[in-house]
Every structure is written in structure tokens, then in C-alpha cells.
Amino acid sequence: MILTTLLKEIILIPRKFYTLHNISEYDLLMKTGYFENYELVTEQNLYETLCQYPEEIEYWLTLSDDNRSSEKWLISQSKNGKYVVDFFPRNIHEKKAVEFDDIKRACAMYIKRDIEQTRNI
Amino acid sequence: MSTLARKALVIFLIWTISQPAYPQKDIVTRDSDGNIEYRDSDGNFMENEAYEVSDDGMTSKYAYESPETDNENKRESHSFEHSGEAGESRTSNGAGGNNGSKGFYEGVIQKSRTDRNYAIQSSQNIDSRLQKSQIAFSKIVSNASGESLASGEMNQTISHLIGSLVNSNQATLFSSFSGQYENNKFKNEIYQQEALKEELRRLFPDLYGQNIQQIKQAQDVLRNWTLVGQLMKNSGFDSSLVEAENAISNVQKSVDLTGLGPVDRKLMVTIDQFNQDAFSRFADYISNYLASIPTSQFDLGTNQKIEVERLIFEAFKSVSQNHDYLAAASSLLQAKEILKYSEPPHESEFGPDDLIGAGSVVAALGKGLSRFGSKELLIKIVNIEDRNAIRKVLTEFTDNGITVLGKTGKYEAFGKRIGANIFEIKPALWKMLTQEEWWIINKEFLDKAVLRGDRIVLSQKVTDINKVNGFLKRELDYLINEKNYRLSANGRELLK
């Protein structure tokens, strides 16, 4: 699979999830081919893809907001205007929140961590 | 192929088959003796026919007047008498005719040649039109490949067109030809139904094969439900099954009769609707079946309990993974037998709630499945660990009578801090569910909170619901619009 196609398909996952209704996030990720090529996908190339498709960021924010699972990665905006990528609950695995000024950078980190969690379930 | 082009093609085909294969006789009159007279649109005499039976009932007479002789000076009339005795025939002049036998034969031969030419021409027209239709059909099929609806509509259209074409030409040839020749070669060739069907099948092998295949698929679908039908006797399922079988049978008859037949999208829609309805009923049946088993029956010995669990698991797996309803019904019957003959009480670490709770969720999600077409969900929640997770969120609640809703990352922490009920599912299951499946479970959670009379507290202040989005918005809309809640003045809870 061509890497650019793989990256684009990953970026489009939440849009498809909310428009198709009848397919899970796990199934969408599996169909991208990520499980076989996960090592090729990095926060950096996800960031570069997000720069081409910035309109997809809103879908990722909604997906994060809607997550009702007991352990999850989150992306949110703090009161000081920065974007925060965090793990819930905080005390698990000693993961620490990371702050970004650039929403694309924050979203790229969130995507990579979220899809890794999905891959490992 | 665009809709416009498709319409144009259909119009062209209809125009093609509507062209007369034989000169039109606009005015036809028949007198009391059965004699027929044809005139053209201007009232000019074209030809007439008379057919008589003699007094002895053995001799018939056919009389014919050709248009060429229909004038005042040279009107010829020919008659042909045919004895009922084999091998014996004689000729005579017609009532008004003055010609000898030579003239009579010439007239008959001339008429025969004329009709034969018309027949040949008509036959050629048939070939020509069938070829045009075949070309058109090939184009349609190649353009409509991948579009089942368009393909189905076109197949039906073409099928009807071919039927019309053959019928119209049959009628034309018959009226012009077959009545005059006892041993009509063309008649035998054209009117042999089997030959005609074979010809159509030869000309449209793809369409015929496709129809047969679709019928077989539909029959296979119903075959899978047969044992389920036995399991669900007297539930109305049987009559639905018979109805679906009749729909297939009718199409089968049509295909057998015409050689092509109108197998179209309508049949597949009928079968698909039956399939969805049957699946929903089956899910309900499983749920009711599990709920109807007496509590004491679950107090099985360990080995029996494991076997019952395995059989029910296999039943769901058969449905969701393989669509093998036969195997699912078989597994359930086996489980039923074990429960029937078990001798309570036994100690058991699992209670009936495990299965009953799973059963109700299965039923709810089964309906979701039939609506949204997901095939994976049943097997997901059959996993005992996941099932317990769902059961926990739907059946276990705190005593303080508070349910907390809010945005992710806020409501969980706040809810846990005050010991409230929160909607939370393990991540592996959450990622496996579709958006609508999320909502089915979440709605159940909200319904139970309402039923308990919990206070619905928000983890963060909401001043304008229209500014809320995502899942929280859907939760608030549901409670306000369907459960008669309203937002409190301080925006921190929902009130009745």
C-alpha cells in the first residue's frame, strides 16, 4: 500500500465513522491496512497529512469527546488556549499530559496514540 | 449509462418492435358468413377471404380475390375445394370466376409466393430486431455492470421488450400465413415454444443465467430459515416463510414459461426484507427463550453450565459469523435439552442474570443489527467478559441516586469523585461498536437512570444546549425531548 494513501485513510476514519453509522472504529482502522504497516505511520507524517486535510481535525476532536470507554486518550483545549493530549485516567501507566500551541501537532499525537490503543485491544 | 441514454435506448427498442412486418390493412370487415374484406386507409379494396363448409360437412372451400383483379373488367375469383377424403382433391371455378384451373393455380401460387415473401421478410425482421436488441442488451449489461438496480431494471425492460417483439411478430405471421398452409414450415419453426425459449436463452445467456442464479440464491436464503421456522412454531414466522417461498415460486414459474422471466430487484427486496424480519424475530426469540428459563435451571453442575454456555455462544457465532441459522437453531435446541433434564439445585458461580441480561441486550442489538446491517456485534457481546461489562453498566448502580453526564475527561472524574453512576465501557468493546450501537447501549443506560429516578447532574455547566455537540448533545436531546426533562437555571442538572 502506498504510504500517502494509508495516511489519508487513517485521517478520514472519524469522518467515515460518523457518516456511515454502521462500522466501528476498529473495523475502519483495520481496513486502512494500518495493522500490517503501523511502523510506517508516525506523528510527523500524520502531521504532514493533517496539514493537507485540516478540516478533518474537527472530526477527531468530536471522536475524542464522544469516547465513553474507561481508558482512553483525549485531546482538548485548556483554559490558556493550548491543546492538551492526555490519557484518562491520569494515574494509569504514569502517562503525562502534553501541551501544544499547534492544534495539528496535538491532533497528530492524539491520532497516533489512539490508533495504537485500537491496534492493541 | 445515463438515465437519459437508457430512456432513449428503450424508446428506440419500442419503436423497432412496433414497426409493422406486414402491410397494414386499415379497414377490416366481416360479413355474417364469415367472409373477410380488407381495405386500405383510403377505402380501396385490397383483398378478401371466404371460408365455407359444404352441406356434407366434408368439403371446405377457400375463396380468395386478389387486389390486382379487383376491377370492373378483370375481376378474378379463385376457389379451392378440398375433399375430406385423403389424397382426393379437385378444383373448380369460383362462383363468379371465368378462369380455368390454370388460372386458379396461378392465383394460388401467386398468393402463396406473396405470403411466403411476407413471411420471409417478417422472419428476417425478427432476426434483425433480435440482433439489434441483443446488441442493445450487451451495451446495457456492460454499462450497468456493478449497478444492480440499473441492471435489474434493464433486464426486466429487455425481457418485456423481447416478449413483445416475439408476440407481435408471431401474430403478424400467423394472420398472414398459417391459416393458408396446413403444413406451415414457418409456423412449426416459430411456434414451437421450447424452440422459442431456447432461442431467447441463446440470445441472452447472461440474463437467463443471472435469473436462475438469483432464484437459487433466494431459495438458499429461505432454506437456512427452515429449522428456525420449526423452532419458532406458532409465532407467525411460518406464514412469513410461506409468503416468501410463494414469491420465489411465482418468479420461477415465470422464468420457466418465458425462458427469461421478470426476475428483478423486487424479488431480492422481498427476500431481503424477509431476512431482516426473520433475524429480528430470531433475536427476540433467543432473548425470550433465555428469559423464560426458570432460575433454578441455571443452577447446573459445572460441566453442564459450561456446555450450555458453549452452545449458546455457538448459536450466536453461527448467526453472526456464518449466517448459518440452521446451526444456530440446532445449538439452541441442544442447550434446551440440557436445561430440560438438569436436576437442580447445584452451586453455580454464574446466575441467570448473566444470560438474561445478555439476552435482552442481544435482542436490542439484534434489532439494531437488522436495521444497520452490522454482522459483527452479536459475536462481540457473546464474549463473557464483554457481556459482563455491558451487564455491569446497565444493571449495577450506586445507592446515592445520582447519574452524571458530561464531556469526556470531565464526567468520569466528577462522577467517580461523588460516587455517582456514569456510563463507561471497557475500551476494547467501545472500539468495536458502531456509532448506532454506542447509542443503543447508552440509551438503555439513560432509561434505567430515569426509571430509578436518579438526579441527572452535569459535570460542567451548560447554558445553551445548541452549543453542545457530539454524544452529550444526543444524550441531552433524548432526555429533554423524549423524557420530559429540562435544563436547570444554573445549567448544572436536568430536572423533571
Helix (H, G, I), strand (E, B) or coil at B365: helix
Chain B: residue whose CA lies nearest to A23: B434
Hey, are the CB atoms on A69 and B407 less than 8 Å from each other? no
Which B positions 472-491 lie with beta carbon below 8 A of chain A?
472
Chain B: residue whose CA lies nearest to A67: B408
Interface-testing mutation among A69, A73, A113, with chain B (most B C-beta atoms within 10 A): A69
User: Given this model, what pLDDT does residue B1 score?
Assistant: 43
pLDDT means over runs of 10, chain B (496 residues): 44 38 39 46 47 35 37 36 33 38 53 56 54 50 40 48 46 38 41 55 63 75 69 72 81 66 61 71 64 53 67 68 61 66 42 43 41 38 50 63 88 86 84 80 83 88 88 93 92 90
Q: Does B442 touch chain A (CB under 8 A)?
A: yes
Cα Rg for chain A, rounded, in angstroms?
14
Helix (H, G, I), strand (E, B) or coil at A97: coil
User: Given this model, what pLDDT does residue B407 score?
Assistant: 87
DSSP letter string over B16-68? HHHS-SS----EEEE-TT--EEEE-TT--EEEEEEEEE-TTSS-EEEEEE-GG
User: Given this model, what pLDDT does residue B438 score?
Assistant: 80
In whole angstroms, give the CA distance from residue B93 to residue A36: 96
Taking the CA of residue B412 and the nearest CA in chain A, the distance in Å comes to 8
CA B290 to chain centre: 34
In whole angstroms, give the CA distance from residue B409 to residue A86: 9
One digit per residue, the tens of pLDDT, for chain A of length 121 reads 689 999 999 999 999 999 987 788 988 999 999 999 999 999 999 999 999 999 999 999 999 999 999 889 999 888 889 999 999 887 655 667 899 999 999 999 999 999 999 998 7
- What was the ipTM of the complex prediction? 0.92
Helix (H, G, I), strand (E, B) or coil at A13: helix
User: Given this model, what pLDDT does residue B108 score?
Assistant: 53
Helix (H, G, I), strand (E, B) or coil at A74: strand
Hey, are the CB atoms on A68 and B423 less than 8 Å from each other? yes
Q: Does B373 touch chain A (CB under 8 A)?
A: yes
In whole angstroms, give the CA distance from residue B372 to residue B411: 29
Q: Among residues A27, A50, A31, A25, which one has the least CA distance to residue A103?
A: A50
Taking the CA of residue B162 and the nearest CA in chain A, the distance in Å comes to 41
Run of H or E including A49: helix A43-52
User: Given this model, what pLDDT does residue B238 score?
Assistant: 76
Q: What is the pLDDT of residues B362-389, one digit of tens each?
A: 444 444 333 333 334 444 444 445 555 5
Hey, are the CB atoms on B431 and A69 less than 8 Å from each other? yes
Q: What is the count of residue pairs from A and B with beta carbons less than 8 Å apart?
A: 83
Run of H or E including A103: helix A103-119
Residue ranges of the alpha helices (H) in B322-351? 325-341
Q: Which positions in chain B touch A74 (Cβ < 8 Å)?
A: 408-409
- B492: DSSP letter: S
User: Given this model, what pLDDT does residue B7 score?
Assistant: 45
